Structure 1
């Protein structure tokens, strides 16, 4: 009888805690880049090291998830530091998400995106991955975490998951085989930008976007804690019976470093409302068209000029 009463008390306390829970979770995000294939053999190790150091502020960030039972907003912590102001850094930042608001009750996510100077607000449903909860457990800080995995499909226009292709020699081999299949000779129109060599022969310039590829799918690993009964997590991720404390996906690791909980209402969570509202599908179409335009401009060296949105 005493045991039965104790179980009821624990269950009631957990339910009551879940109804009123709110707080903030701080996450450290780190992304690695395979510098071995970056830039090919022509780039020196010293140059690769310098580029990696300049990219550090872009690849290592701190985020804050402010949440309650049904809502959350995930934002990058503001820092007074100078990162890469242009070139590769500016380009890759154009593919990074801004504030991400989730409403679990409505199954809605609102995501800010600034793409080449234009502000967008993506209105979409939360990606409910088919999580497979495992028996693996570990301690993350003072919390017991349980491992779960899922397969995430990647849109071909999502440059946030772009990664360097294999070595230059492998790419040349693939390009030669592809050209043979399509019966395209080097120097033909549409084959890219060309320059004449010392022998008067035309040399095909490689499209810089060919140095990157986007996987069709990736494996996502999450570690969640049932001790914080909120079905939420960093970024777009949710759907597990507890707050996600750690995420691993391709070359990115997101780890919770600090949690501040409260059983009070907490601060009001406001959904973002700036930017042209679009669906995820519409936004990906805009990105894809813009990337194709950039590739055409490269091939034609600006032929037709740069078009705006």
Structure 2
């Protein structure tokens, strides 16, 4: 009887270990970012017309609403945008690709919470990069507040992070009082004929962003969308005030397994090196757009 008991015990332990090893899940996220208001903004030396404003707003809306799929196991995950067919006659693919990269888009975002590292392949201005770096470690504050998301009980967690200068979603409209003061000061130095207000001059980048996350201990993995992780359960919602990423579907232990591994395409660079490349190119576009008298704004092209 003792031998049978020992056998059943080891069989149970082995089954549990195997179940943990084979555990895998999939979560679908809907990402929406509030587009900045463009009322009263000038392009070059002319006001943006209602027709231009409508076109810009429609394009921004398309770029700021995305669907992502997160495949995860106990220690790693891959997060990738769901592919969509491009609308017929839509142009400006190069610019959209650049803006997609600056709005949190890109290729496959791989996170390994054991090694606390990530790898993401990005295409920027016709070049392929493989960004590899350490995962950001936010100082999460666990709250007692709860709510239901898709039938899962989720707990609130908050944190503050440094804003990425290469993530367009972080741009905020400048304070109107600050704009007036800057304009007044500028007019004292230049004549009206020389003064030009650029589209991107109306926005600024905050230094920090407040993050609110909702995670569920019912799915005990330290994973989440984008580069978010570090909570005692799968993150089902992220809100930074401008962008909301909400889980719309969860599937656990599906029959068909997904290979969870990092991409290997592109020039290997650190996040710092990649950001410097993007910022340099953004400055080049800013100067080019600044020199186009009456030309369309960079975002509208």
Normalised TM-score (structure 1):
0.77
Unaligned runs of 5+ in 1: 1-11, 188-200, 302-309
Q: How far apart, CA to CA, are the structure 2 residues paired with 1:74 and 1:111?
A: 9
Name the SS of the counterpart of 2:118 in structure 1.
Answer: strand
Q: Where do 1:77-156 residues align within 5 Å?
A: 77-82=82-87, 85-86=91-92, 89-96=96-103, 97-98=105-106, 99-156=108-165
Kindly report the root-mean-square deviation, in angstroms, between the aligned alpha carbons of the 2 structures. Answer: 3.1
List aligned pairs for 1:1-309, cutoff 5 A.
20-35=22-37, 37=39, 39=41, 42-43=47-48, 47-82=52-87, 85-86=91-92, 89-96=96-103, 97-98=105-106, 99-167=108-176, 170-177=178-185, 185-186=189-190, 202-262=193-253, 266-299=257-290
Change (3 A) 1:137 1:93: same
Q: Matches of 2:59 and 2:283 in 1, distance apart?
A: 27
| CA distance 1:258–1:298, shift in 2 (3 Å) | closer
With normalisation by structure 2, the TM-score equals 0.79
1:228 and 1:58 map into 2 onto residues whose CA distance is 31
Q: Could you tell me how far apart the structure 1 residues matched to 2:138 and 2:284 are?
A: 33
Is the CA contact (8 Å cut-off) linking 2:131 and 2:268 kept in structure 1? Answer: yes
In structure 1, the partner of 2:6 is none
Aligned length: 273
Measure the CA separation in 1 of the matches of 2:138 and 2:256: 29
Cα distance change on mapping 1:264 and 1:91 into 2, 3 Å? closer
Distance in 1 (alpha carbons) for counterparts of 2:18 and 2:217? 14
CA distance in 2, matches of 1:85, 1:252: 26
Where structure 2 has 5 or more consecutive residues not aligned to the other structure, the ranges are 1-12, 293-301
Once residues 38 and 245 of structure 1 are traced to their aligned partners in structure 2, the CA distance between those partners, rounded to angstroms, is 37
- Tell me by how many angstroms 1:121 deviates: 1.2
User: C-alpha displacement at 1:213, in angstroms?
Assistant: 1.1
